[in-house]
């Protein structure tokens, strides 16, 4: 598959959306993830409500355009998600990336569907879910 089919205008437009979710260092929960395949990394700082739903968050993304686009897609729809929601989404996305399932049920994921054909990018795609799961798995009395 050619780069033109991967780096579509829609995918590249997503990368600039990350400015909407800047890093927030005073949030009580923190999670990080790194791709073993490409070295991309993502950190998330978040606050959750009493039910464990994400209230606010900020991201630090050091990734290729595919990883950045994936982070923007995650960020568009992460508010209100729980640890269980994110774990289920993570598992569905990994199944889709592995070719074992149809495209995962996460809004806008179809915007980066072409990246499934690039196994070297799979680690970058899943980063936001891994980091958020890590953050929500830590105990915090402040949210």
Domains and CATH numbers, the chain: 3-137 (3.90.1010.10)
pLDDT of residue 22: 94
pLDDT of residue 142: 52
pLDDT of residue 104: 85
CA distance 71 to 48: 19
pLDDT of residue 140: 60
CA distance 123 to 34: 8
pLDDT of residue 69: 98
pLDDT of residue 80: 98
CA distance 46 to 124: 20
pLDDT of residue 79: 98
CA distance 111 to 88: 20
pLDDT of residue 26: 86
Decide: helix, strand or coil at residue 20. helix
pTM as predicted: 0.92
* Strand arrangement, sheet containing 41-48: 29-34, 41-48, 54-62
pLDDT of residue 138: 82
pLDDT of residue 36: 93
Low-confidence ranges of the chain (pLDDT < 50): none
CA distance 138 to 3: 39
pLDDT of residue 143: 59
Cα separation values, 32 from 42, 109, 113, 133, Å: 6, 21, 24, 9
């Amino acid at each position: 598959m050619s780069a033109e089919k991967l780096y579509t205008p829609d995918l590249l437009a997503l990368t600039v959306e990350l400015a909407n979710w800047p890093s927030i260092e005073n949030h009580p929960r923190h999670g990080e993830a790194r791709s073993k395949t490409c070295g991309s990394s993502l950190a998330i700082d978040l606050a959750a409500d009493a039910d464990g739903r994400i209230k606010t968050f900020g991201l630090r993304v050091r990734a290729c355009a595919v990883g950045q686009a994936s982070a923007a897609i995650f960020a568009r729809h992460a508010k209100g998600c729980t640890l269980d929601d994110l774990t289920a989404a993570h598992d569905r996305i990994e199944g889709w990336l592995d070719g074992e399932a149809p495209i995962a049920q996460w809004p806008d994921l179809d915007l980066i569907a072409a990246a499934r054909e690039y196994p070297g990018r799979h680690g970058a795609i899943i980063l936001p879910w891994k980091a958020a799961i890590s953050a929500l798995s830590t105990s915090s009395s402040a949210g």
